[in-house]
Amino acid sequence: MDNESMGFNFNSLTVHALQEQLQSGATTSVEAVTSLLAAIAERDGELKAYVTLDAEDALAQAAEADRRRADGEDAPLLGIPLAIKDVLNVTGQPCTCGSHILQGYIAPYDATAIAKLRQAGAVFVGRTNMDEFAMGGTTENSSLQVTHNPHDLDRVPGGSSGGSAAAVGGGIAVAALGSDTGGSIRQPASFCGCVGLKPTYGRISRYGLTAFASSLDQIGPMTHDVRDAALLLGAMAGVDPMDSSSVDCPVPDYTAALSGDLKGMTLGLPQEYFVKGVDPEVESAVRAAVARCRELGAEIREVSLPHTEYAIATYYVIATAEASANLARFDGVRYGRRAEGATDPIDMYGKTRAQGFGPEVKRRIILGTYVLSGGYHDAYYLTAQKVRTLIRRDFEQAFEECDALLSPVTPTPAYKIGEKVNDPLQMYLGDMFTATANLAGICGLSVPCGTTAAGLPVGLQIMGPAFGEEQILRVGHAYEQAEAGS
């Protein structure tokens, strides 16, 4: 059975198109999931996007969705198959976070985002690969396997949500979930040629998301088009008593914002994001996308975000400090791996963490412990929090005159596997255009905007103010539709 053996082309099948087929009776969820599993079997051997696949359970969920539909139910995502980044807890499934330290752990509960999708009727097909504990930008830091870019198998898919991006971009997922701490949805979406949305901090509950950096992490969708991102956001958004950082504000119908034009909108170009070092083909594609937005009726205005140059240093102080605290819970006592041969509890902690964590996670724990240590807390962590406030104020001032900001997602297209894995500083610099949104707590969207001469995708980043998802989705959808019709 090949990728289109039952009339499904998962390279382009959207959530909303499959919704229509299911609602009309043209197909069933069991047929869709059966065909998707065949596509995964055909191609995932080379992509290595999935780390766990339970076909029997996926088909049982699909059969239940079909039964619910036959009984007259019409939940928003009834029967839609989704791939889940291996950082989100789903009842009865492993949640390894790409790490040896969580070997054997089976989630006893659903993350709130998963519970909401389950209530909406979604089918969870498999779990996707990721950089260990979401720390990395290539998915090479996974302790399980290296995922490959579907557009060039010798290149990285980005990270940390590289498995989800490769599954969607490679035609073996209808849509997927990722998490974004410093660009981990938007960057792999850009590298793999799909849409990736990082919602505003607090828009989606983080309960059940294994924490990397609690003040930066956010769950979001990775999809074939902007309408799908709007649909999935609407299903997951909302306040949650289990997450005190989730915000109690109305959840709009995000699809209603997809008007198709940009008349009356003002879009800003942050001059600090169009600088020396950006690949010429990336800048050319992004500037062509900006010109298209102007044609659609938007006013384009240059703006400044003057504290951008401090963003990477600030991000890697705050993120590693929070990681140091969050990852202290993985000690071999309560769940996951426990080292053998320890002589006492302290020896067991040390051996378990030494054996269970990979080098990048250890590096960040050490950095984070250092910046929180006595004598250095004020010099590093407290100073970083002050700079974070300045970065947020930069955005607030820009949004006083602009509805959204346009920029590249990354300075370069996807690079070769192994090219930067031994040079973490160069890899960290790849977050320079994305980490600012996490520091400021705002929303960001990556939309494909062309390819390089080598056929590598390029992403346009659209950033909006806090809880301004309707604005960035409107921009992304109008641009996407204009390009599709050209």
Cα 431 to Cα 423: distance, rounded to the nearest angstrom:
14
Cα 4 to Cα 412: distance, rounded to the nearest angstrom:
33
Q: Please, what is the angle between helix 29-47 and helix 55-70, to 10°?
A: 150
Looking at the chain, the number of H-run helices and the number of E-run strands are 15, 11
Pick the catalytic residue: 29, 35, 85, 205?
85
Pick the catalytic residue: 142, 160, 205, 246?
160
Query: Which residue shows structure tokens 């905007």?
Result: 449
b (16+ CB within 10 A) / e for 102-111? beebebeebb
DSSP sequence for 48-99:
--EEEE-HHHHHHHHHHHHHHHHTT---TTTT-EEEEETTB--TTSB--TT-
- To the query of whether residue 324 is one of the catalytic residues in this protein, the response is no
Cα 116 to Cα 394: distance, rounded to the nearest angstrom:
34
- To the query of whether residue 160 is one of the catalytic residues in this protein, the response is yes
Residues in the chain: 486
For the record, the structure tokens of 180 come out as 């974004």
Strand partners, 463: 405, 444
**431 neighbors 338 (Cβ within 8 angstroms):** no
Q: CB under 8 Å, gap of 24 or more: what pairs does 331-338 form?
A: 332/356, 335/102, 335/105, 336/101, 336/102, 336/103, 336/104, 336/105, 337/100, 337/101, 337/102, 337/103, 337/104
Distance of CA 334 to the CA centre of its chain: 28
- To the query of whether residue 99 is one of the catalytic residues in this protein, the response is no
Strand partners, 175: 223
Cα 313 to Cα 333: distance, rounded to the nearest angstrom:
34
CA neighbor of 202 nearest in space, from 232, 243, 255, 233? 243
Pick the catalytic residue: 184, 190, 246, 407?
184
Give the residue numbers annotated as catalytic, written as ranges: 85, 160, 184
